[in-house]
Structure formats: structure tokens, C-alpha cells
């Protein structure tokens, strides 16, 4: 018995099969060509709409190995994490000022964020008193009383210097003398402190220079505690900014330089701070002004806002308050963040 063969598909004749295959192949070819054109059009349209010309997002949906293998370097956006706030801050250059030398430090690390002739040797005028106060704070008990021997009237007549008004025979606290030194910039207070701490001006100047060496600074040398012009008495914008930074790390001194007016323990008048930035410039906390004919106007100014603190030193200026305001404004608005480590101060780094 012959087994029946079953088929479940239609089997055309060979000639018909060839014709069908030819038609099917042609149809498939046209369909494939149309699909390719549609795909290319879709990709081009997407790029035109999104501005995407090979970015990572486009490559994630690419269809060909060539398109996927093409790498494109993307420009860094200023708003991206890699650009960030520092890239924005760097857009504004530091302002031009009238000063001969400038240094801008950021706390707490003491990083130098801007400078002009920062290591030039220049007369500091009464910025010298920053170091006078620092040496006194580190060498003696500030609660002690002092028997005054300096005659401010005679000193003022001889040198035309600013004084707090000391008279021989008075008894004042060391803190009173520091207020008279740092607020009205009393040269009489500077001499009295030098005598109290070291016995005489020369010995005290040696202590000041020892403190300079201890801070690792190279561009400062003192011969007196008050800052009157003298040969071999000089500092630099960087060095004196460092000392302003160091002073602010002393709580008693930082409080004094941030005080606008103080009544010493005497029958005389109050002493007023010559630093006009206090109470005028937002966040101002000190430090000291100075002036002599040779030095011109000088200042170490400090301010803190929004968790940042800057110390600006200016030597040889025609307008210290305008210059300091410009530099502080720039620092808070445009200076890149320089202090990332916590608890580390490197004020003497060059």
C-alpha cells in the first residue's frame, strides 16, 4: 500500500515560483530602500530639532557602528559640576586700584588670591602697629596695668605723629594701650607698649623681627614699633596681609580692631577707630590704617560674608577706602574658592 504524502503548504510550479521570487525580491528591495531613507530622515530630523550632533544621548540610540564609534569632545558648561561657581567667579578680572602694591588673602588657609607687587619692599606707616599689637599679645599679660612714662604732647610736637593722649604718671591697663594703639593709631601707645614689653624701642624691634622670622616671611624689617618712616623699616603687601590675618586669629586683638569707639580707663576722651570701613562696608571686621608722607596711605582691611573671609592689604594708595572696597567687592563676587581644607592655616606660604 502506498503511503500518502501530506503537504501543508502550497507549492507552485517551478516557473511560477521563479516569477514570484523575482517580484518578492524587488518588493523587498524597495521596502528596504524606503526604510533606510525613512531612518536617515528620522535621525536628521531629530538632530535638527534637538541640536544633537553626536552627543552621548544621540549615541545611545544610534543605529550604525560608525555613528556609535564617533567620539565628540563636549565643551564644559559653566553651570556643570566640573565648571561650577569657580568658573563663574573667574569671569571678572580684579579691579584696577591706585595702590602701588596689593595682596588679597582668603581665610582660613591664607591663600593669595590676587596680588600686585606683593613682595615689593615699601614703607608700611602705621600698619607696623599690627605687629606691635601681635608681639604684645604674645609676650605679656594683657590684664596688667602700666605706669605711663611717655609724653604724648612732646612726641606729637617733635614728630607731628598721631597720639592717643598719654601723660606721664597715668596708670592704664595694657588693653587701654592696645585700644589707643589700634583705633586712633597712637604712636605714644606704641612707644609705651614697647617699653613695657621689652624695656626700650630697639629691644622691642628685635622681638618684632623675630616674629617676622617665625612667620617665615622674608620681605619685612622693623626698626620701631609705630611706623614712622625710617631707613631699613619696610614691609610688603603680602607680608603685612599675613600679619593682619594672624592678628585676627587672636580673639582679644580681633575684638579691638572691630571696635569703632572705646573709652579708656582715664578721665580723657574716647578713642575712635580711623578705619572708616567699619559700619560702612558690609561685613567689615578690621584691621588697621596708616599714613606718612613717604608711605602714602596704607591699609589692611578685612571683611567676612556668606562664610568667606578676605584680608586685603594696600600700600601706597591715594584712596585706601575706595581701593579696599573695590578689591573686597571683587573677592566676594569673583575670587575662586581657595580654602578647601578645614582647620589648616598656611599664612606664611609663598
Give CA–CA dist 336/333, Å, rounded. Answer: 9
Q: Which three cell numbers stand for residue 196?
A: 613695657
Smallest CA-to-CA distance from 212 within 251, 240, 172 is with: 240
Handedness of CA 279, 129, 315, 89 (dihedral sign): negative
C-alpha cell at 99: 595702590
Phi, psi of 319 (to 5 degrees): -150, 90
Signed CA dihedral, 242, 183, 131, 293: sign only: positive
- Is 234 in a helix, a strand, or coil? strand
313 catalytic? Reply is no
Q: Which of 115, 152, 185, 313 is catalytic?
A: 185
The grid coordinates listed for 19 are 516569477
Which cell numbers hold the place of 315? Answer: 600700600
The C-alpha atoms of residue 148 and residue 181 are separated, in whole angstroms, by 14
How is residue 75 written as a grid cell?
565643551
For this structure, is 185 an active site residue? yes
**Which helix (H) or strand (E) segment is 291 a member of?**
strand 284-292
Residue written as grid cell 582660613: 108
Q: Distance from CA of residue 249 to its chain's centroid?
A: 17
Contact 189, 181 (CB under 8 A): yes
CA distance 176 to 196: 13
Q: Which of 129, 152, 236, 317 is catalytic?
A: 129
55 is catalytic: no
Other Cβ atoms less than 10 A from the Cβ of 19: the count is 11
What's the full length of the chain, in residues?
A: 350
Query: How many other CB atoms are found less than 10 A from the CB of residue 60?
Result: 8
Catalytic annotation, pick one of 11, 82, 115, 126: 126
Written as nine digits, the cell of 268 is 580723657
CB neighbourhood size of 10 (10 A): 5
Active-site amino acid positions? 126, 129, 185
Amino acid at each position: 500500500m502506498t503511503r500518502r504524502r501530506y503537504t501543508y503548504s502550497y507549492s507552485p510550479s517551478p516557473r511560477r515560483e521563479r516569477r514570484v521570487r523575482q517580484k518578492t525580491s524587488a518588493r523587498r528591495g524597495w521596502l528596504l530602500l524606503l526604510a533606510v531613507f525613512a531612518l536617515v530622515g528620522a535621525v536628521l530630523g531629530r538632530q535638527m530639532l534637538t541640536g544633537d550632533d553626536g552627543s552621548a544621548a544621540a549615541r545611545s540610540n544610534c543605529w550604525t557602528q560608525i555613528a556609535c564609534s564617533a567620539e565628540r569632545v563636549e565643551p564644559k558648561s559653566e553651570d556643570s559640576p566640573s565648571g561650577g561657581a569657580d568658573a563663574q567667579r573667574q569671569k571678572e578680572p580684579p579691579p584696577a586700584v591706585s595702590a602701588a602694591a596689593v595682596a588679597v588673602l582668603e581665610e582660613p588657609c591664607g591663600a593669595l588670591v590676587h596680588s600686585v607687587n606683593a613682595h615689593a619692599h615699601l614703607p608700611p606707616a602705621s600698619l607696623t602697629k599690627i605687629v606691635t599689637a601681635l608681639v604684645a599679645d604674645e609676650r605679656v599679660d594683657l590684664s596688667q596695668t602700666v605706669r605711663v612714662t611717655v609724653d604724648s604732647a612732646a612726641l606729637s610736637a617733635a614728630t607731628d605723629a598721631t597720639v592717643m593722649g598719654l601723660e606721664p604718671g597715668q596708670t592704664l591697663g595694657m588693653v587701654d594701650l592696645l585700644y589707643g594703639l589700634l583705633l586712633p593709631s597712637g604712636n605714644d601707645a606704641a612707644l609705651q607698649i614697647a617699653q613695657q614689653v621689652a624695656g626700650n624701642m630697639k629691644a622691642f624691634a628685635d622681638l618684632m623681627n623675630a616674629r617676622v622670622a617665625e612667620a617665615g616671611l622674608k620681605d619685612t624689617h622693623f626698626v620701631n614699633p609705630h611706623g614712622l618712616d625710617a631707613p631699613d623699616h619696610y614691609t610688603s603687601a603680602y607680608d603685612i596681609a599675613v600679619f593682619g590675618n594672624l592678628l585676627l586669629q587672636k580673639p582679644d586683638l580681633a575684638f579691638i580692631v572691630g571696635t569703632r569707639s572705646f573709652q579708656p580707663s582715664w578721665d580723657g576722651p574716647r578713642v575712635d577707630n580711623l578705619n572708616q570701613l567699619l559700619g560702612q562696608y558690609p561685613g567689615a571686621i578690621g584691621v588697621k590704617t596708616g599714613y606718612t608722607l613717604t608711605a602714602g596711605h596704607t591699609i589692611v582691611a578685612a571683611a567676612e560674608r556668606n562664610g568667606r573671609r578676605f584680608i586685603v592689604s594696600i600700600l601706597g594708595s591715594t584712596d585706601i577706602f575706595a581701593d579696599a572696597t573695590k578689591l573686597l567687592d571683587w573677592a566676594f563676587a569673583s575670587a575662586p574658592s581657595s580654602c578647601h581644607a578645614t582647620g589648616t592655616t598656611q599664612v606664611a606660604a609663598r
